[in-house]
Structure 1
Amino acid sequence: MGSAAAIAEWGRPASDITHVVYVSSSEIRLPGGDLHLAARLGLRSDVGRVMLYFLGCYGGVTGLRVAKDIAENNPGSRVLLATTETTILGFRPPSPARPYDLVGAALFGDGAAAVVIGAGPIAGGESKPFMELNYAVQEFLPGTHGVINGGLTEEGINFKLGRDLPLKIEENIEAFCRKLMGKIGNEELGFNDLFWAVHPGGPAILNKLESKLGLEGDKLESSRKALMDFGNVSSNTIFYVMDYMRNELEKKKEGGEEWGLGLAFGPGITFEGILFRSL
């Protein structure tokens, strides 16, 4: 289980988890997955729980933002952020009337991920944090709510992505990134001075972003590797990208980038972004 592995790496008992943020676009049930997870992990009965349902591909970064806010406003708290997606629920058998379904079957995957987030790390009492969540922004593009849509039907969960999604991202991504970068306070830093953890919604999105921002060839390597290895696993995928990015930054050590951006895009069209600082 991803959550159990995250707690084990964190190095403290599960009973020290004070809050759970649970993200999924693959289920609707009462009680929710947050309660099932807390019970299975043996978390304390007064753990604070938040469910984030049906956010789609940006849900993982939303979870980071919400967990960040909880941790910063509750001194000493430790937040378990867990994501789980079973995109096979959206599978449709091939049909000449719906050729687009084949794209979804090839692109999407299933999986889970988890991280522990807190403020004021305890030296020697828990594993050393590897990333600071410095600043977070969410923004939607007016008039684009039909570009990504989905819902529950008699056939199950149904999602559809508009063909103009990569173009809409390309047209708006630079201003969004500059808004996040403004919090660094160093106007000399350019896009290639940062590390990048981008949700790989598909190859076209990564290509458009890379071209628009003039990124060097290896800047989106972690995103491309996650897409190749796991597919688009909706809210989970950003954590696979971050794990690959953590390994890359550890290899670079003192020569690695200090600042980076975490980005994801989903229904709305919604942009979700985090300014990271490597520790």
Structure 2
Amino acid sequence: MSATNSNGAPKHYPSVTKRVPMPGKATILAMGKAFPSQLIPQECLVEGYFRDTKCDDLAIKEKLERLCKTTTVKTRYTVMSKEILDKYPELATEGSPTIKQRLDIANPAVLEMAMGASIACIKEWGRPAGDITHIVYVSSSEIRLPGGDLYLASQLGLRNDVGRVMLYFLGCYGGVTGLRIAKDIAENNPGSRVLLTTSETTILGFRPPNKERPYDLVGAALFGDGAAAVIIGTDPLTGKESPFLELNYAVQQFLPDTHNVIDGRLSEEGINFKLGRDLPQRIEDNIEEFCKKLMAKAGLKNFNDLFWAVHPGGPAILNRLESTLNLSTEKLDCSRRALMDFGNVSSNTIFYVMEYMKEELKKRGGGEEWGLALAFGPGITFEGILIRSLE
């Protein structure tokens, strides 16, 4: 398991930031991420996937090859390995009841990645883990009681009165939901420091290819594994904490009568997903009004005056967003870069986008003051936060 942040070492910025956080507003104080050890180049995926699942259907193989090119993904990390399939060959057998085996793999793997990301984040923060007052834990990849929040708190050595919130099975918008919850906790509990950790693996959804389940191929071409963590707090301590984003205003909204567009069901074989072809169009039809609702809080009107941290569900969604809002080409570069480097890692991906955005803002000497963090998922649910750069 590897844990990294931007340069692999804690970063402290003793100089005063260009912008001062608003009193009482939640800020992101540190970030960290972690991945399983196995990195898969996209060009190697098809041969390995068909070898491991013992599939010899040439038409399905050609379709997956096309999908792998259109996703724009270049590399992804994965928990799944030859060793796991040798131990659990039933995972590659159509119709086998394997939910117990999948959870035996997923639960510890998700926790291990969550630990790696949290440790990297706390290291960058530079304060003792005992100063964390709350945990928000997000995952659509583990199922157990007690949940990963308790295991994480115990293994990090946090106080036993740390406040815990567990967010299960939200899918791709879960990371921004976690930010919204952490923001509310931080702003309503002065002096609190909230550790938000997200961790995801595709183990529950892994299965052999089948013509009757075309979305399985999309998942095989698009999704990856990993974890991310951030620490949220208000009124940063001068000289001890280094905020870089302010979480100014948050909105969640669902689109009526769209609950079947993204459909996931837990079965004896794991999680089965169905994805409606009209998902990008539904997002396109509603995104402008949603963004304007967030922007109005700061009196913003021009989409190109903002920086954008958008969850890259897939290239089609990013392309539709760019076209609908008439965004300059570079506005979604950080989202496209995260998708290329990690794939869609569900709730975690927004934090990989934000880390790239942090690099860009520092490189440009601050740049735009205001931005939007956006994610979309089952419901169809929109999550958005009006964010302010402190760089």
Q: TM-score, normalised by structure 2?
A: 0.69
CA deviations 1:208-243 (Å, max 9, x no partner) are 000000001110000000001111100000000000
Q: Any residues of structure 2 matched to 1:98-177 within 5 Å, and which?
A: 98-126=213-241, 128-177=242-291
Q: Say whether the 8 Å CA contact 2:138–2:198 is kept in structure 1.
A: yes
Are 2:150 and 1:35 aligned? yes
8 Å CA contact retained: 1:26, 1:86: yes
**Code of the aligned partner of 1:237:** T
Aligned with 1:264 (options 364, 375, 382): 375
Select which of 140, 159, 166 maps to 1:51. 166
Among 199, 220, 223, the alignment partner of 2:311 is: 199
Matched, 1:74 2:189: yes
- Tell whether the 8 Å contact from 2:139 to 2:168 is kept in structure 1 after alignment: yes
TM normalised by structure 1 equals 0.97
CA distance in 2, matches of 1:148, 1:35: 29
Which SS does the other structure have where 2:364 is aligned?
helix
| Partner in structure 2 of residue 227 of structure 1 | 339
Quote the Cα distance in structure 1 between the aligned partners of 2:290 and 2:165: 27
CA offset at residue 64 of structure 1? 0.2
RMSD: 0.8
Report the Cα offset of residue 247 of structure 1.
Answer: 0.3
The amino acid of 2:124's aligned partner reads E
Alignment correspondent of 2:209: 94
- Counterpart-to-counterpart distance in 2, 1:24 and 1:139: 20
Q: CA deviation at 1:151?
A: 2.0
Unaligned runs of 5+ in 2: 1-115
**Among candidates 362, 376, 385, match of residue 250 of structure 1:** 362
Structure 1 regions of 5+ residues with no counterpart?
none
Alignment: residue pair count: 275
- Name the counterpart of 1:15: 130
Give the secondary-structure state (helix, strand or coil) at the position aligned to 1:208: helix
Q: Give the AA of the match of 1:52.
A: L
Cα distance in 2 between the residues matched to 1:95 and 1:174? 37
State the identity %: 79
C-alpha distance after superposition, 1:15-42 (max 9, x if no partner):
0000000000011101100001001111
1:125 deviates by 2.3
**What is the aligned partner in structure 1 of residue 297 from structure 2?**
183
Q: Within 5 Å, which residues of 2 pair with 1:210-221? A: 210-221=322-333
**Which has the higher mean CA deviation after the structures are superposed, 85-94 or 6-15?**
85-94
Q: Match of 1:239, as an amino acid?
A: F
2:172 and 2:377 in contact (8 A); partners too: yes
